[in-house]
Structure 1
Amino acid sequence: MTIKISKMSCQHCANRVIKALEGISGVKDVRVDLKAGTATFERSEGVKMEEIARAIKEAGYQVVS
């Protein structure tokens, strides 16, 4: 799954998003593309998008719909 994330501008930002997503049980293989402003990851069926968005927001960024 790939999602668009706003406000990421450097590797530190990417690392924060990666750490936030990897902290969710059921999320794995997280990759961030700063140039595209996206995060790509695999998630189990039990992981809801609301949980993904909340973790990203708590890290200081926002999912763009």
Structure 2
Amino acid sequence: MVSTTYEVRGMSCGHCAGSVVTEVGAIDGVTNVKVDLEGGRVTVTSDNPLDTETVRAAVDEAGYTLVDA
């Protein structure tokens, strides 16, 4: 298992978090998605390392922005 934390801009409520969890959770190999609204972070646990662009596309689909590290 691999756990990676990403900074996401634009999330402000439970609905926001739910949208991100749904989209990122649909990525192949993702086993858990945890959102920290106050910190603007999303922690993704997956079977293998994820391609950042795949995560970015899922976050974009949810309507938010993945911040470059």
Query: TM-score normalized by structure 2?
Result: 0.86
Measure, in 2, the Cα distance between the counterparts of 1:52 and 1:44: 14
Residue 11 of structure 1 aligns with which residue?
A: 14
Measure, in 1, the Cα distance between the counterparts of 2:52 and 2:9: 16
Q: Give 5+ residue unaligned stretches, structure 1.
A: none
What percentage of aligned pairs have identical amino acids?
37
Q: Give 5+ residue unaligned stretches, structure 2.
A: none
1:35 aligns with 2:24: no
Instruction: State the AA in 2 paired with 1:2.
Output: T
1:16-59 deviation digits (Å, cap 9, x = unpaired): 00001111111121100000000001123363111110010011
Query: SS where residue 60 of structure 2 aligns?
Result: helix
Instruction: State the AA in 2 paired with 1:36.
Output: G
Measure, in 2, the Cα distance between the counterparts of 1:5 and 1:46: 18
Instruction: State the AA in 2 paired with 1:4.
Output: E
Query: TM-score normalized by structure 1?
Result: 0.91
